């Protein structure tokens, strides 16, 4: 865990306290235990969890630096990434985790209870359905997702949640720049505009990684997001 603490500080200026490091240790333990029963994540050893889950989650800090979100929604969170690691370092941030797979949503609930995290909710739902909920729509400063779908599809999942002036953040692999370019039309249709791309380097991980940021400049038209499954079948 010492190397994780050092890497978080060096790479992303994230200063983990002893209590926060302990929370990550407990999170890792629960993830390894649940993974033996359920296929939550393909990453199954502690070293990879720390680099490819925890540090990867903290790379989001590069996008907002000293001005973290007050309200963040993590769509397709899986086993809680990046939402739960971010909640651990920002106790005051209100976090909503959205996950359509029941066992993954159950794990996220278990972890948030085990770590006694406040102001974090787990919603077992499809992003397309939740994005039409007036109580959720255009209410978040930031909407984030990691490796959920191609960016033109992902934009339809995320941008409806983002309030005017807020930001969509997609964590992407080497295809990030190409996806960003091809998704600009879809983003504009949904009220978003490509803002910037930030390269991410993780220790021991050869794959290229990018943060793709889009700003919300106009309200998303009421017809978006479309019915569950439609964005994937007929992308914008």
CATH code, 48: 3.40.50.150
Instruction: Copy the structure tokens of residue 189.
Output: 């249709």
Burial class (CB in 10 A: 0-12, 13-18, 19+), 4: buried
pLDDT one-digit tens code per residue, 73-91: 999 999 999 999 999 999 9
pLDDT one-digit tens code per residue, 87-110: 999 999 999 999 999 999 999 999
pLDDT at 148: 79
Phi then psi for residue 167, to 5 deg, are: -135, 140
pLDDT one-digit tens code per residue, 46-69: 777 887 899 999 999 999 988 999
Domain that holds residue 182: 2-233
The model's confidence at residue 41, banded by pLDDT at 50, 70 and 90, is confident
Contact 69, 205 (CB under 8 A): no
pLDDT one-digit tens code per residue, 187-230: 999 999 999 999 999 988 888 999 999 999 999 999 999 999 99
Kindly report the average pLDDT of the chain as a whole number: 94
Residue 185 has pLDDT above 90, yes or no: yes
The model's confidence at residue 183, banded by pLDDT at 50, 70 and 90, is very high
CA nearest to 210, candidates 174, 168, 184, 179: 174
pLDDT at 95: 98
Please give the model's pTM, rounded to 2 decimal places.
Answer: 0.95
pLDDT at 4: 92
Residue 231 has pLDDT above 90, yes or no: yes
Using DSSP, state whether 60 is helix, strand or coil: coil
Q: What are the residues facing 197 on neighbouring strands?
A: 212
pLDDT at 227: 97
Residue spans of beta strands (DSSP E) within 67-161: 71-75, 94-99, 120-124, 140-146
pLDDT at 16: 97
CA nearest to 81, candidates 128, 24, 29, 137: 24
- Report the domain count for the chain: 1
């Amino acid at each position: 865990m010492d190397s994780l603490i050092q890497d978080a500080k060096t790479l992303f200026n994230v200063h983990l306290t002893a209590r926060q490091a302990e929370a990550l240790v407990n999170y890792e333990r629960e993830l390894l235990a649940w993974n033996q029963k359920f296929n939550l994540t393909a990453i199954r050893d502690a070293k990879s969890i720390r680099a490819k889950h925890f540090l990867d989650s903290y790379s989001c800090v590069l996008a907002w630096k000293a001005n973290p979100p007050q309200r963040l929604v993590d769509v397709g969170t899986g086993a809680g990434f990046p939402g739960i690691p971010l909640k651990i370092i920002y106790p005051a941030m209100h976090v909503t985790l959205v996950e359509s797979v029941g066992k993954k949503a159950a794990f996220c609930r278990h972890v948030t209870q085990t770590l006694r995290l406040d102001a974090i909710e787990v919603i077992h739902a499809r992003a397309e359905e939740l994005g039409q909920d007036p109580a959720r729509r255009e209410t978040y400063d930031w909407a984030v997702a990691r490796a959920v779908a191609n960016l033109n599809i992902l934009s339809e999942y995320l941008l409806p949640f983002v309030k005017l002036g807020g930001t969509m953040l997609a964590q992407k692999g080497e295809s990030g720049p190409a996806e960003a370019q091809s998704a600009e039309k879809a983003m504009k249709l949904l009220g978003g505009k490509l803002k910037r791309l930030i390269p991410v380097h993780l220790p021991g991980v050869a794959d290229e990684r990018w943060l793709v940021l889009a700003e919300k400049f106009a309200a998303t038209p009421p017809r978006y997001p479309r019915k569950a499954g439609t964005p994937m079948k007929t992308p914008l």
